[in-house]
């Protein structure tokens, strides 16, 4: 599931606003700080235990030969990482995750923008359409995988029936998920179906923030539909687009359930997350698996850095 | 479309009307296509769930079932693993949500209303945690859970789900608290209420809509989660819904014939309450989803 963390720019801004007037009530301020720490402590303690400690531990474990069921664990330095760089299966998994991310983000953005623009104009039944858009998002990913697997079936699947018997696009029935060429686009299509409405809702919220007088001014100046879209809508929507795209990219990079349910551990459809899970849970190679997860973490950190820089840049511009 | 018609000259009245009708028709066609795209897979699942097994594997494919049956629904409800998994998912989701409300809302209040040393550090740490993937702590959690004998228990999932439930709660609630007026708190202080009383008796009841929003998002997140459930739960009596549905028919004799009917019936059984919840609470969900995203 996607969570939407507010942008860092909004955080610092909020911090400045929340600061009380200094020097007025010294003792009140001190007691307030103590109260704030008291309120914050349980959550921070909990996060330290369930998230921060395991994260640090993962980094430390990645320098050992830790194996499940083996009592002695020794420090092996960079061994896991040198092995990682030469591991063709790991490279394939990065490539699979990246291709999946690029395909899904591009299609989800384009389709999501079209849907957002359509739903943004007023028509009767608009509320119902918006409600329908939330349904795929609420669906359990594993269930959507099962639903589509049935539709992709080579013999009695509806897609083959439509493409071969009804539309005559294909000559013979295809095994969409079994064929290595079509497997990735087929999974991507499931993710695109499930997430596009969600992206559309995010972009719709952004569209509704654009004041209508900007459009009226453009109309008065004689700007056409297309000109208005590229000179007004798109630039003003940029903050929402950036947030939606980066959040989706972060989600797609760590994709696990769709691929796992559809393919299990098939080598050509092993994503980064599946590779980590396989190393740790199936082979018990906790040390090597941890090194793989650190690599995954670094790749995702690059995307988060891009996100932070972009939100700062767009906040500075507006 | 309105801009194009406004530009056109008044004497060409007739073609404009035709154009308007055509563009309106195209617009509604687009909406029908969008709705069809979103809803067709659901129709297909429903169709399959009402068909006898033999018909499902039959070609030519039936777009509307010739023979109706509710046998798959009877099968679903007499499958102990599936029924049990609904209870398990509910226990895990509700527990994780309640714990994150209990400790997350107070943290959110502290971050929203007070200025103290390390406030921004705490905010950024929690932000970072909400972005990093669960898979990166899988190995460490696995070792820790084994050590404390929590492996293959629902407690393990409740604890682990706090890694995403807590940051979500803190983020959304701190922006919610920040949007609330300070007058009430000040009035409470004047009346001699302590800071904690003010938070617990005044702010929490007023923040109920926000808490409800995060609660829904958290329960949905827990309901969806697959990686941790798959890795930390072994026995089928502990399975959550995604595990149970993914493994429907896994222990049946014929591994080659997937019991689509049963699986789609289970899908619909699980989905209907979710769809109902989404439709009833859609405004809240949309506001919750977009709370952080559009404030740039």
| CATH number assigned to the domain covering A79-317 | 1.10.3720.10
A32 closest CA partner among B259, B210, B111, B227:
B111
Are A274 and A259 in contact, with CB atoms under 8 Å apart?
yes
B chain contacts of residue A149, beta-carbon cutoff 8 Å:
258
How much is the pTM? 0.84
| A64 phi/psi in degrees, rounded to 5 | -120, 175
The residue among A30, A143, A219 with the most chain B CBs within 10 A of its CB, best to mutate, is A143
State both tokens at B116: 């103290």
* DSSP string computed for B58-124: -SSPPSS-SS---HHHHHHHT-HHHHHHHHHHHHHHHHHHHHHHHHHHHHHHHHHH---TTHHHHHH
A chain contacts of residue B245, beta-carbon cutoff 8 Å:
140, 142-143, 146
A chain contacts of residue B230, beta-carbon cutoff 8 Å:
260, 277
The strand pairing partners of A64, in sequence order, are A75
The strand pairing partners of B6, in sequence order, are none
Q: Do A150 and B264 touch (CB under 8 A)?
A: yes
The residue among B136, B179, B194 with the most chain A CBs within 10 A of its CB, best to mutate, is B136
Are A52 and B146 in contact, with CB atoms under 8 Å apart?
no
ipTM: 0.82
How many Å apart are CA A128 and CA A72, to the nearest integer? 61
In tens, the pLDDT along A186-197 reads: 999 999 999 998
- Give the least confident one: A23-37, A83-97, A244-258, B57-71: A23-37
Q: Which residue of chain A comes nearest to B285, CA vs CA?
A: A134
B259 has pLDDT over 60 = yes
How many Å apart are CA B223 and CA A138, to the nearest integer? 10
- Give the least confident one: A127-136, A188-197, B128-137, B139-148: B128-137
pLDDT band at B8 (very low <50, low <70, confident <90, very high): very low
Class of residue B265 by CB neighbours under 10 A (exposed 0-12, middle 13-18, buried 19+)? buried
The strand pairing partners of A75, in sequence order, are A64
Q: Which residue of chain A comes nearest to B33, CA vs CA?
A: A115
Quick one: pLDDT at residue A302? 86
A chain contacts of residue B126, beta-carbon cutoff 8 Å:
47
First to last CA, chain B: 30
**Domain ranges (residues) in chain B:** 2-71, 80-247
Q: Do A239 and B296 touch (CB under 8 A)?
A: yes
| Count of CA atoms in the C-beta half-sphere (13 A) of B119 | 25
How many Å apart are CA A131 and CA B278, to the nearest integer? 8
Q: Is A75 helix (H, G, I), strand (E, B) or coil?
A: strand
Sign of CA dihedral B59, B61, B66, B71: positive
| Residue written as token pair 């609420």 | A138
Q: Do A228 and B3 touch (CB under 8 A)?
A: yes
How many Å apart are CA B270 and CA B268, to the nearest integer? 5
Chain centroid to CA B109: 24
A chain contacts of residue B107, beta-carbon cutoff 8 Å:
39-40, 42-44
Check residues B279 and A105 and name the one with the higher pLDDT.
A105
Q: Do B107 and A150 touch (CB under 8 A)?
A: no
Which is the CATH superfamily of the domain at B80-247? MetI-like (1.10.3720.10)
A253 closest CA partner among A151, A101, A60, A26:
A101
How many Å apart are CA B295 and CA A128, to the nearest integer? 26
Q: Is A222 helix (H, G, I), strand (E, B) or coil?
A: coil
pLDDT band at A66 (very low <50, low <70, confident <90, very high): confident
The residue among A1, A3, A274 with the most chain B CBs within 10 A of its CB, best to mutate, is A3
Q: Do A35 and B142 touch (CB under 8 A)?
A: no
pLDDT band at A132 (very low <50, low <70, confident <90, very high): confident
Q: Which residues contact A294 (CB under 8 A, 6 or more apart)?
A: A58, A59, A62, B136
């Amino acid at each position: 599931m996607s969570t939407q963390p507010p942008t860092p720019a909004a955080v610092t801004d909020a911090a400045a606003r929340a600061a009380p007037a200094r020097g007025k009530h010294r003792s009140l301020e001190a007691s307030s700080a103590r109260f704030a720490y008291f309120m914050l402590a349980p959550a921070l303690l909990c996060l330290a235990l369930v998230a921060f400690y395991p994260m640090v531990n993962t980094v430390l474990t990645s320098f050992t030969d830790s194996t499940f069921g083996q009592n002695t664990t020794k420090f092996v330095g960079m061994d896991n990482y040198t092995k990682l760089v030469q591991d063709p299966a790991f490279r394939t998994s990065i490539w699979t995750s990246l291709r999946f991310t690029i395909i899904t983000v591009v299609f989800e953005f384009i389709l999501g923008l079209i849907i957002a623009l359509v739903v943004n104009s007023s028509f009767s039944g608009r509320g119902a359409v918006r409600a329908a858009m939330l349904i795929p998002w609420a669906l359990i990913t594993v269930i959507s995988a099962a639903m589509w697997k049935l539709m992709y079936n080579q013999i009695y699947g509806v897609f083959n029936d439509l493409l071969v018997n009804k539309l005559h696009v294909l000559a013979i029935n295809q095994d969409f998920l079994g064929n290595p060429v079509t497997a990735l686009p087929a999974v991507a299509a499931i993710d695109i179906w499930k997430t596009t409405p969600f992206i559309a809702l995010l972009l719709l919220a952004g569209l509704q923030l654009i004041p209508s007088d900007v459009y009226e001014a453009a109309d008065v100046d004689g700007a056409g539909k297309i000109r208005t879209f590229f000179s007004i809508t798109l630039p003003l929507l940029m903050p929402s687009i950036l947030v939606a795209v980066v959040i989706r990219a972060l989600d797609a990079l760590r994709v696990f359930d769709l691929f796992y349910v559809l393919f299990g551990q098939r080598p050509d459809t092993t994503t980064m997350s599946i590779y980590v899970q396989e190393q740790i849970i199936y082979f018990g190679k906790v040390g090597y698996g941890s090194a793989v997860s650190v690599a995954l973490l670094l790749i995702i950190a690059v995307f988060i850095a891009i996100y932070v820089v972009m939100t700062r840049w767009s906040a500075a511009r507006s | 479309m309105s801009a194009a018609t406004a530009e056109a000259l008044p004497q060409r009245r007739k073609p404009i009307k035709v154009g308007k009708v055509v563009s309106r028709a195209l617009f509604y066609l687009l909406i029908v296509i969008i709705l069809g795209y979103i809803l067709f897979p659901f129709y297909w699942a429903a169709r399959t769930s009402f068909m006898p097994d033999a018909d499902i594997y039959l070609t030519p494919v039936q777009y509307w079932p010739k023979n109706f049956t509710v046998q798959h629904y009877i099968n679903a409800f007499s499958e102990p693993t599936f029924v049990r998994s609904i209870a398990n998912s509910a226990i895990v989701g509700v527990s994780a949500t309640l714990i994150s409300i209990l400790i997350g809302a107070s943290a959110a209040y502290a971050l929203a209303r007070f200025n103290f040393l390390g406030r921004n550090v705490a905010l950024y740490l929690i932000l970072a945690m909400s972005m990093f993937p669960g898979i990166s702590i899988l190995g460490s959690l696995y070792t820790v859970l084994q050590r404390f004998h929590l492996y293959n228990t629902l407690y393990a999932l409740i604890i682990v789900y706090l890694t995403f439930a807590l940051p979500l709660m803190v983020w959304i609630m701190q922006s919610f608290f920040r949007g609330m007026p300070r007058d009430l708190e000040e009035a409470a202080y004047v009346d001699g209420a302590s800071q904690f009383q003010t938070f617990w008796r005044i702010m929490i009841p007023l923040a109920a809509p926000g808490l409800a929003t995060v609660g829904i998002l958290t329960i949905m997140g827990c309901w969806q989660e697959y990686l941790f459930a798959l890795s930390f739960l072994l026995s089928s009596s502990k399975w959550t819904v995604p595990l149970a549905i993914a493994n429907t028919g896994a222990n049946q004799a014929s591994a080659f014939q997937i019991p689509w009917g049963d699986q789609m019936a289970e899908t619909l059984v699980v989905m209907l309450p979710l769809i109902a919840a989404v439709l009833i609470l859609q405004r809240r969900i949309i506001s919750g989803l977009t709370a952080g995203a559009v404030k740039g």
